Structure 1
Amino acid sequence: MNLKLTALLGFVFLLSSSFTGTIPKGDELEINLKKMNFIGEVDERYQSINIEMCEVVGGDFWIPYDLVDTAKVKSGGFAALKRSIPPVNLYDNKLRTLASALGPMYVRVSGTWANTTYFQDNDESKLKAAPEGYENVLTRAEWKGVIDFCKATDSKLVTSFAISNGMRDEDGNWTPAQIEPLINYTKTIGGEIAAAEMFNEPSHAGHGGAPEGYDGNTYAKDFEAFKSYVDVAIPEMKILGPGSTGEGGIISGQSLSTDSIFTAHPKPEFEIFTYHYYGWVSKRCMGNRTPESALDSDWLSKTELGLEYYENARNKYVPGAPIWLTETAETACGGNPWAATYVDCFRYLEQLGRLAKKDVKVVMHNTLCASEYALLEQDTHEPRPNYWAALLWNKLMGEKVYDAGLNDDGIDVFAHNLKGQKDGFAVLIVNPGASEKTVVIPSNAEQYLLTANGENLQTKSVKLNGEVLKLTSDESLPTIKGEKIKASEIQIPAYSILFLSFNKI
């Protein structure tokens, strides 16, 4: 997401903080597997990821907090909060191994950079500068890396296309000038684009590479031409949209509203309704959140507020269309520093659990391996805490969603079928509070207890059932095993996340 905020003189650095406290025993709750009501189903690729187009082609992306130069920020403003990154190596064995373990999934290659990216349809050296009307260059080799990555990780590709002046004829009309060669090349190398948004975040078209004065009528006209081309050239590709963000009072700065898009003529029709969600902006963009607020109930539930506006728009304009969240993370502008630590696991898993109950079919996390909000460290690809949370979700949580029937101010409980089994259940219990909770389980189970390694929740080291999670010496994933427990009262420690697997009712 690209929010060109320029008032950055008050940039605030993160102050170290930890969460500690006594752990009094709480009230008992009982899990009743026989009384769980079926709610609905999510896509088998429900948990998915983004790889920014900026990562694929190389360019300016969010600078790590430990490299921020405050003097440059004061003098250079927004530009000083980014650094040049090389194209990501999508053939890296470690990256592929870790991504494969989260599959099957969708991989979305998009972001603001995609709106102005020129596809260089030859095998010559990469152009040093993009042609007029574009800002970035995507080579065949870079795109082949995307296609090969998707094949290697059992992923389906989702993308978006350029919308800048380079795409247009002399009268300013949208043309398939860039889509056609990209699609043709994709087919020649055995690739497939499963789904696409016309362009990334039309809500921010004003600073997202669209022509000056871009409005709902322009969008409708462009979309008509876009859909006409897709229907003939690549009818198997699902058209997603609009992919807007921040409306409903979540984040300001929109230049084109969803209402403006849908009330223009001809009205765009999407097979799948998409939106993006960031609960706020990070410290880079003058965000004022603190690590202590990362566990607030208002913050953890805000993802439902972010959905509400777009769910109402879906119901009004394309009733019955599935909803996908195609870009989300801790906060916009690369995430806060603690997005890379254990404390954000609560937000990550709460978001997956809450949106599954609200009938969102797919959630695409931003990003796989760039900036603080990534699942993996950018340079080393070492797993961050959210990666381990994602791995546990993928291992245990199936596609069928249930109402666990438990209500408690201190913990949140989410229930799915146990992945790969008809009769089993997977129950996720999130305890973001300072008090231990007691839960009664009705039968034998396996537990997967995720906790911080130490008292500081802003740690990048986490434990599973008391053992530190880390890659093996050959950079393979460790065996993820549950701990057998019997039907009984069990204690959910403060600031912990517990997955329970029940093989049969």
Structure 2
Amino acid sequence: MKGKKLLIGAGVVFVFFFVLVRVGVWNSRGGFSEFIKGQSAPSLVLERRDASLHPGAAPESVVRVRIDAAKPVNTVDPEFISFAIDSSQLVGGKWWNPKADRVEMGGGEKHAPVFDFNSPKMDILARGLAPAYLRIGGTEADRIYYDMDDDGKERKAPPARYESLMNRKQWDEALAFNARNGLKFVFTLNTGPSSRRPDGSWDGANAESLMAYAAKRGQRVAIWELGNELNLFWYAYGPSKTVSAEQYEKDLASLRALAKKHHPASLCTGQASAIWPVLGEPLGLIFGTQGPYLARAGALFDVVGWHYYPQQSRRGPVGSRRAYPARLLDPGYLDEAGHWAAQVTKLRDAYAPGKPVWLGETGNAQYGGEPGVSDVYISGLWWMDELGLLARSGHAVVVRQTLCGSNYGMIDQETLTPRPDYWNSLLWKRLMGRKSYSVQVEGEGTSKVRVYAHDSPGGGLCALVINLNHDRDAAVTFPAMKDRKVVVYRLNAPDILGPVVLLNGAPLAVTGDGTLPTLAGEELPVKGEPVVKVRPLSYAFVRFP
């Protein structure tokens, strides 16, 4: 009898575990086995830190590239590369500890320094990436009280139920920074538990005080976004604080009424759900919001957005794919962004046809970025690939988390030194136009030689070639470009895990007077088919004027 009870008990445990796993990996890409694989380091170890400077030891990959420039597959917005400042940086709320020496809960456990929007150096760097949207959002957005009567001269505590307070000085400085640097402002409004009535409905009174203040001062907000990642409210606040699709539709209608009253020229949009690698929406079968919200209220979304990080840093308590230097050299992991993008686009087509699709928040690694991975040269291989992939996949805008702040920031927050991904973004802005074209890649090892093509702002075409191989060169030819002028911008580094990026052999840095440098390419001899050599773990913009 005792053995029978034990057998029944073991069966119950097995069934419970089986159901839990099935719920957890519902709609996943790769299932439970891929989740387990993501907890350990990849097999590839990057032994040669200077690999991108030297010829590979293995035979080179010979690749032929054909660009179909007859008709673009997508036309991105002028603000295609945009960027964010986290809400925690706006108000000094809790964020990620720079030391990254332990696991942190929620959106981080250390108060962020309040962002300095008055820095002349930051003006220069931000202006270099214009036109762009500046999004202020993040986990802390759903915890902020707006006190537009507070001049910021004395630090005040937020009212009960709120965790942070935004005063008018912080708001005014953010809007002034935005205006003088040619940016468009996106602001995520609080729709967390602190902004809700006892019946669960959104109380827009505090949001209206902010909107009225901005309208009175003539401050322009391009987009009001209602909440941040509501599909994770079950984790951040508990399952009882989730918001139904029916309720969210009413909330979004309330926001649109307020915007029509105070900011009739502004767009309004709903939240963007967090999509995790492997899993999609975590526990999406129970708590998913992307599909249900769009199915119910798609007509009220002016933008269809989603959030995605391809890996997760050591700070996070849970991760579906942990960050390592070689992790994103696997083409399958890079392609995953396209998988989730296609799912979001399909939902857009069904419930919000004609609305633009944005990747509204992305970075090299979730939870503030991974030190020594997200803030160094090797991050650029992922960043350039994701931009090319999403431009080709029909996206209008990609918002980088962050412009400056934590390890995933494009600028070091202590020194204001641009990191490699800042220079990568600047080069993309200068060289890759709005029209994305279809590309055919033929030859050996094509899975690890990624190529994207756009028109070029100065005329002609520009191809981006990324060599993910760690031990072999890519010899890339363009048969249709015979006898055409070619200008190459090669990017590599003395240390693939270091902070320096070289453009045609010279380190990129601001000039002595604090301005941005000239980004000059190398013109190749015009003779026959152009052949561009791309070293291991490096990338190049190849422009055909």
**Comparing 480-489 and 458-467, the one that deviates more:** 480-489
**In the superposition, relative to structure 1, how do residues 280 and 35 fare at CA in structure 2: closer, same or farther (>3 Å)?**
closer
- Residue number among 475, 480, 485 corresponding to 1:438 in the alignment: 475
The 1-side partners of 2:385 and 2:273 are apart by 22
Question: Structure 1: which amino acid aligns with 2:186?
Answer: V
Could you tell me how far 1:465 is from its partner in structure 2?
Answer: 0.1
Residue 495 of structure 1 deviates from its aligned partner by: 1.2
Counterpart of 2:258, as a letter, is Y
CA distance in 2, matches of 1:69, 1:345: 24
CA distance in 2, matches of 1:475, 1:317: 48
Q: Which amino acid aligns with 2:139?
A: T
Match among 324, 334, 345 for residue 290 of structure 1: 324
- Residue 450 of structure 1 is aligned with which of 484, 487, 491? 491
1:484 has 2:523 as partner: yes
Secondary structure at 2:156 match in 1:
coil
What residue number does 2:223 align with? Answer: 195
What CA deviation, in whole Å up to 9, does each residue of 1:354-409 have, x standing for no partner?
00001100000000111111101121111111111111101111111111322422
Residue matched to 2:513: 474
- Check if 1:103 corresponds to 2:130: yes
Moved more, 22-31 or 184-193: 22-31
Instruction: Report if the CA contact (8 A) 1:242-1:274 is conserved.
Output: yes
Give the equivalent residue in structure 2 for 1:216.
245
Match of 1:378 in 2: 413
- Give the one of 139, 142, 147 matched to 1:120: 147
Contact 2:233/2:242 (CA < 8 Å) preserved in 1?
Answer: no
**Map 1:96-245 → 2, pairs under 5 A:** 96-124=123-151, 125-169=153-197, 171-208=199-236, 212-245=241-274
1:39, distance to aligned residue in structure 2 (A): 1.2
Counterpart of 2:210, as a letter, is L
Q: Whole-Å Cα distance in 1 between the matches of residues 206 and 46 of structure 2?
A: 47
Residue deviations 1:33-79, cap 9 Å, x none? Answer: 67564212000100000111111111221112xx2445xx5xxx637
Secondary structure class of the residue paired with 1:230: helix
Q: Is the 8 A contact 1:295 1:343 kept in 2?
A: no
Q: What displacement does 1:415 show? A: 0.8
Please identify the structure whose Cα radius of gyration is greater.
Answer: 2
* Conserved? CA contact 1:18–1:458, under 8 Å: no
Mapped to 2, the partners of 1:290 and 1:469 lie a distance apart of 25
Q: 1:397 to 1:261 in 2, by over 3 A?
A: same
Partner Cα distance (1:281, 1:381) in 2: 24
Q: 1:425 aligns with which of 440, 461, 469?
A: 461
- What residue identity is the alignment partner of 1:281? Q
Please, which of 344, 359, 367 is the counterpart of residue 394 of structure 2?
A: 359
| Pairs aligned (count) | 481
Alpha-carbon shift at residue 278 of structure 1 (Å):
1.5
8 Å Cα contact 2:107/2:367 also seen in 1:
no
Whole-angstrom distance in 2 between the partners of 1:38 and 1:69: 46
Residues 1:202 and 1:395: Cα distance change in structure 2 (over 3 Å): same
The alignment status of 1:260 with 2:295, answered yes or no, reads no
> Is the CA contact (8 Å cut-off) linking 1:50 and 1:109 kept in structure 2?
yes
Aligned-partner SS, 1:290: coil
Q: Is the 8 A contact 1:334 1:371 kept in 2?
A: yes
Partner of 1:501: 543
- The one-letter code of the counterpart of 2:475 is T
Secondary structure at the counterpart of residue 376 of structure 1: coil
**Match in the other structure for 2:450:** 412
Letter in 1 for 2:307: H
SS in 2 for 1:478: coil
Contact 2:68 2:437 in 1 (8 A): no
What amino acid is aligned across from residue 249 of structure 1 in structure 2?
L
Question: Following the alignment from structure 1 to structure 2, what is the Cα–Cα distance between the partners of residues 451 and 476?
Answer: 22
Which amino acid is the alignment partner of residue 501 of structure 1? R
Offset at residue 129 of structure 1 (A) = 1.2
Query: Is residue 376–residue 384 contact of structure 1 (8 Å, CA) maintained in 2?
Result: yes
For residues 376 and 427 of structure 2, the distance between their equivalents in structure 1, rounded to whole angstroms, comes to 16
| Shift in alpha-carbon separation, 1:399–1:425, aligned structure 2, 3 A | same
> 1:320 and 1:330 mapped to 2: Cα distance?
29
- Larger mean CA deviation between 171-180 and 93-102 belongs to 171-180
217-226 or 168-177: bigger deviation:
168-177
Residue 172 of structure 1, CA deviation: 4.6
1:23 CA drift (Å): 3.7
2:348 to 305, 309, 314: 314
1:126 positional shift: 4.5
Q: Mapping of 1:324-335 within 5 angstroms?
A: 324-335=358-369
CA contact (8 A) 2:475 2:532 kept: yes
Task: Structure 1: give runs of 5+ residues left out of the alignment.
Answer: 1-10
Structure 1 residues 267 and 190, CA, compared in 2 at 3 Å: closer, same or farther? closer
- Tell me the distance in 2 between the aligned counterparts of 1:209 and 1:290: 30
Instruction: Kindly state the Cα deviation for residue 316 of structure 1 after the two structures are TM-superposed.
Output: 2.3
What TM-score do the two structures reach when normalised by structure 1?
Answer: 0.88
31-40 or 485-494, larger mean C-alpha shift: 31-40
Higher strand fraction (1 or 2): 1
**Aligned-partner Cα distance in 1 for 2:451–2:46:** 30
Shift in alpha-carbon separation, 1:158–1:406, aligned structure 2, 3 A: same
Offset at residue 232 of structure 1 (A): 3.1
2:184 and 2:265 mapped to 1: Cα distance? 13
Partner AA of 1:326 in structure 2? G
> 1:169 Cα deviation (Å)?
4.8
Q: 3-state SS of the aligned residue for 2:178?
A: helix
Q: Name the CA distance, whole Å, in 2 between partners of 1:79 and 1:133.
A: 16
Q: Is the 8 A contact 2:485 2:523 kept in 1?
A: yes
Residue 204 of structure 1 contacts residue 253 of structure 1 at CA under 8 Å; is this kept in 2? no
Which segment drifts farther, 107-116 or 176-185? 176-185
TM-score (norm 2): 0.82
Q: Percent identity?
A: 27
Q: By how many angstroms is 1:159 displaced?
A: 1.3
After TM superposition, the structure 1 stretch with the greater mean CA deviation from structure 2, 279-288 or 29-38, is 29-38
Seen in structure 2, the aligned counterparts of structure 1 residues 127 and 169 have a Cα distance that, compared at 3 Å, is farther
Specify every segment of 5 or more residues in structure 2 that has no aligned partner in the other structure, as ranges. 1-38
User: CA distance change for structure 1 residues 109 and 450 in 2, over 3 Å: closer, same or farther?
Assistant: same
1:274 maps to which residue?
Answer: 305
| DSSP-derived class of the 2:208 partner | helix
